[in-house]
Structure formats: structure tokens, C-alpha cells
């Protein structure tokens, strides 16, 4: 189920990254469960992964790394 959800929102996520809308991407990721964030990051290219990861707060990063 996670993969389907990720694919649905992937175009929006890519758009935020391409527009360098860091605030929008940060807000989007804050609303997601850490397992969902992992799925999102896996679908992005390496530069997108880095950008997404850098926007996470320390607590979320520790949760994401558990998956």
C-alpha cells in the first residue's frame, strides 16, 4: 500500500523539488509517517533524496533511519 500512495504523490513532490519550494516540501514531509517518508525518498533521484532528507528535523531523521 505504501508504494501506491507514494506513486500518487510523487509528481507533487517532484514539482516541489524542481521549484525549490523547500518550505512546501518540508510541510509535506512533516505530515507523513516516517515509513512513508522512506518510500518517498526511495522513489526520488539522489539529489532529491538529499534535499528531502536535509529538510527533516532530527527526531524525524532518527525515525526514518529505523526503516
pLDDT tens figures, 7-59 = 788 899 999 999 999 999 999 999 999 988 998 999 999 999 999 999 999 99
Domain range for 43: 2-64
> Which of the four pLDDT bands, split at 50, 70 and 90, describes residue 1?
very low
How many domains are there within the chain? 1
CA distance 67 to 63: 7
**Locate cell 509535506: which residue?**
28
Burial class (CB within 10 angstroms; exposed 0-12, middle 13-18, buried 19+) of 9: middle
Amino acid at each position: 500500500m505504501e508504494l501506491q500512495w507514494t506513486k500518487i504523490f510523487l509528481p507533487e513532490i517532484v514539482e516541489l523539488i524542481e521549484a525549490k519550494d523547500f518550505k512546501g516540501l518540508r510541510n509535506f514531509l512533516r505530515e507523513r509517517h516516517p515509513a512513508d517518508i522512506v518510500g518517498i525518498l526511495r522513489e526520488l533521484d539522489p539529489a532529491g533524496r538529499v534535499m528531502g532528507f536535509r529538510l527533516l528535523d532530527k527526531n524525524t531523521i532518527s525515525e526514518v533511519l529505523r526503516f
